[in-house]
Structure 1
Amino acid sequence: MSNTKFDPAAVARRIAENDAADLFVLDVRNEDDYEEWRIDGSTNVPIYDELLEYDYSTLEGHLDELPKDTEIAVVCVAGITSARAAEFLREHGFDAKSVDEGMNGWGRVHRQYDVDATDGVVQIVRPGTGCVSYLAHDGEEAVVVDPSQYVDRYLNAADERDLEIVGVADSHAHADHVSGARRLAGELDVPYYLHGDDAGDLEDVTELADGETISVGDRDLEVLHTPGHTPGSVSFRFGDALLSGDTLFLRSVGRPDLEDSSEDAVREAASRLFDSLERLTALEDETVVLPGHFSDESIRPLATELGDLRAETTNELLSYVEDDDEEAFVETIVESLTDEPANYNEIKQINWGREQPGGDVEALELGPNNCAAN
């Protein structure tokens, strides 16, 4: 990487490893874009339009507010205006670099974590989108769960551990990101697993059913049908690990309105979700919950024992399940639903096999993650 550019992955690493005290992230996008989606801990000086015109007057007026003794990572949409701002700052004595490809690059970052709390699971986190996927492995074999469209990340993770990928699974038909599962399975000539209720018009799908297992080395990945977020949502048990997909998050649950947003349909789906959560919360307290998304949780890997999750007060919707209060659960979901994930209808059509991804497929999933119910 050029000495005038920051690799987005390096920015993510420094933030994740608590090295961000020596890194000041300056976001020069317009305020609305920044408020919608940003790098945690960044500072916004909304001068994007000015920088397009090579106007540095507002930036010059903020120089006294910027640190002279700290590296500055300047970010914009695609790395063009941030490069201009970083050059201007260097000319004024600042150690400033542009984040390569801007927030577009940030959205493609993937970070790997071996989950020490359980055996045989690698968690792959996308800090820019809140998406989480997994490599469940035993012996020399692995199954990939919920991969992004950047399939090389999973091939590399397997190669680094001398693992052979023997299957690829989606916990459901995703609405927030384009799945790479079919492509990865096709490239490797291994089965692609998905519950039939979420298969849409897809071909070459090995349909999952409740209670079935997927062999991984000498172990099994057990399928639990947990509908609600989607009709075909599943969770996977792998030893004491629960890959909970978009059914159960650490601070919320999966929203039930992305198939049909009419109130009656949402209430019915929320009721099914309540039943699914009752099933999951009946598992052993030592079960390690590994969700398919996160919001602003900073722990890595993203993992919490079910007993601890039930005892905490940070997941309001789960507390209703603990209290067996389905009515309050459904009402809270109906009242608290926020904006849907960006481009979710188009993404769903691609993941159902009804549309082919176009040249803008990477841009479709950029933005905040809105898959949680509240």
Structure 2
Amino acid sequence: MNIKVKPMGEYQTNCYIVTVNGKDFIIDPGMGATKWVMDNVKNPVAILNTHGHFDHVWSNAELQEKLKIPLYTPKEDTMLLSSSSWMPDLPPSKPDVEVEPNQELDFGGVKVKFTHFPGHTPGCSTIEIEDAMFSGDFIFERSIGRTDFPYSSPKQMRESLEQFKKIPYDKTIYPGHGGTTTIRQEQQYSDYWIGNL
């Protein structure tokens, strides 16, 4: 597995290109991501969204059109792709597949697992591919996603962190902003965040 990353736009939102067995997966193509993605993919098979916030989905529609590949978005966040209270000029996009909570997909032998961790948004999910977890805005290095946005829920975030604490294995976490961390590392801070939400 090869992972390329580039922070996009003023919010420095990480866009990832994950290559497994010759297949390229584009995760969270944010503002201005199209050219970088086009320059760095050879065999793109899918666009994957961790959640529906504008800085993670800005280039969805443009890449769908240019690459002719399907877009997968957590079902509960589909409504966020067509309008944004902060960014009225968000280019609307429509998923080809609305991903159900905790759904595992199989792309010709490459397993892609969405795990539902609502709180930051209703559909907020991590995406696991082999030994990597792409956490979007759920978990960052020593931090968690904000819960003061429209459709956010501190209660759901607490429940998600309780669920995250119980993950029995370790993987490298590639978050939506900032640098990498690990599941084990961030599990140490879960109780702190649960107590402060």
TM-score category (smaller protein) = 0.7 to 0.9
1:215 to 1:282, Cα distance in 2 relative to 1, 3 A: same
The SS at the match of 2:196 is helix
- Displacement after TM superposition at 1:176 (Å): 4.1
Partner of 2:126: 235
Residue deviations 1:66-121, cap 9 Å, x none? xxxxxxxxxxxxxxxxxxxxxxxxxxxxxxxxxxxxxxxxxxxxxxxxxxxxx332
Partner of 1:249: 140
The answer to whether the 8 Å contact 1:199/1:205 transfers is no
From 175, 192, 195, the equivalent of 1:320 is 192
The SS at the match of 1:211 is coil
Partner of 1:329: 196
From 218, 231, 236, the equivalent of 2:109 is 218
1:208 to 1:307, Cα distance in 2 relative to 1, 3 A: same
- Displacement after TM superposition at 1:245 (Å): 0.6
Partner Cα separation in structure 1 for residue 44 and residue 102 of structure 2: 22
The answer to whether the 8 Å contact 2:28/2:56 transfers is no
**TM-score under structure 1 normalisation?**
0.45
1:307 to 1:285, Cα distance in 2 relative to 1, 3 A: farther
The SS at the match of 1:121 is strand
- Displacement after TM superposition at 1:152 (Å): 1.3
Q: Which amino acid aligns with 2:36?
A: R
The answer to whether the 8 Å contact 1:229/1:256 transfers is yes
1:240 to 1:233, Cα distance in 2 relative to 1, 3 A: same
Partner Cα separation in structure 1 for residue 184 and residue 56 of structure 2: 30
Partner of 2:36: 153
From 170, 180, 185, the equivalent of 1:286 is 170
- Displacement after TM superposition at 1:251 (Å): 2.5
The answer to whether the 8 Å contact 1:211/1:222 transfers is yes
From 280, 287, 304, the equivalent of 2:181 is 304
The answer to whether the 8 Å contact 2:30/2:56 transfers is yes
| Structure that is richer in helix per residue | 1
1:178 to 1:239, Cα distance in 2 relative to 1, 3 A: closer
Q: Which amino acid aligns with 1:191?
A: P
- Displacement after TM superposition at 1:308 (Å): 2.7
The answer to whether the 8 Å contact 1:137/1:217 transfers is no
The answer to whether the 8 Å contact 2:73/2:95 transfers is no
The answer to whether the 8 Å contact 2:30/2:57 transfers is yes
1:178 to 1:236, Cα distance in 2 relative to 1, 3 A: closer
The answer to whether the 8 Å contact 1:134/1:147 transfers is yes
**TM-score under structure 2 normalisation?**
0.81
Q: Which amino acid aligns with 1:170?
A: N
Partner Cα separation in structure 2 for residue 172 and residue 292 of structure 1: 10
1:143 aligns with 2:22: no
| Structure that is richer in strand per residue | 2
Larger Rg: 1
Partner Cα separation in structure 1 for residue 122 and residue 158 of structure 2: 13
- Displacement after TM superposition at 1:270 (Å): 0.8
1:250 to 1:141, Cα distance in 2 relative to 1, 3 A: same
Q: Which amino acid aligns with 1:188?
A: L
The answer to whether the 8 Å contact 2:113/2:127 transfers is yes
- Displacement after TM superposition at 1:275 (Å): 1.5
Partner of 2:60: 181
The SS at the match of 1:182 is helix
Q: Aligned pairs, how many?
A: 184
From 185, 188, 207, the equivalent of 2:98 is 207
Partner Cα separation in structure 1 for residue 101 and residue 182 of structure 2: 23
1:182 to 1:245, Cα distance in 2 relative to 1, 3 A: same
Partner of 2:43: 164
Please list, as runs of the form range in 1=range in 2, the aligned pairs for 1:49-198 lying within 5 A after superposition: 119-126=1-8, 129-150=11-32, 151-158=34-41, 163-176=42-55, 179-198=58-77
Partner Cα separation in structure 1 for residue 168 and residue 9 of structure 2: 29
Residue deviations 1:118-139, cap 9 Å, x none? x332222348533112112211
Q: Which amino acid aligns with 2:22?
A: E
5+ unaligned residues in a row in structure 2: which ranges?
83-92
Partner Cα separation in structure 2 for residue 230 and residue 274 of structure 1: 13
C-alpha RMSD of the superposition: 2.3
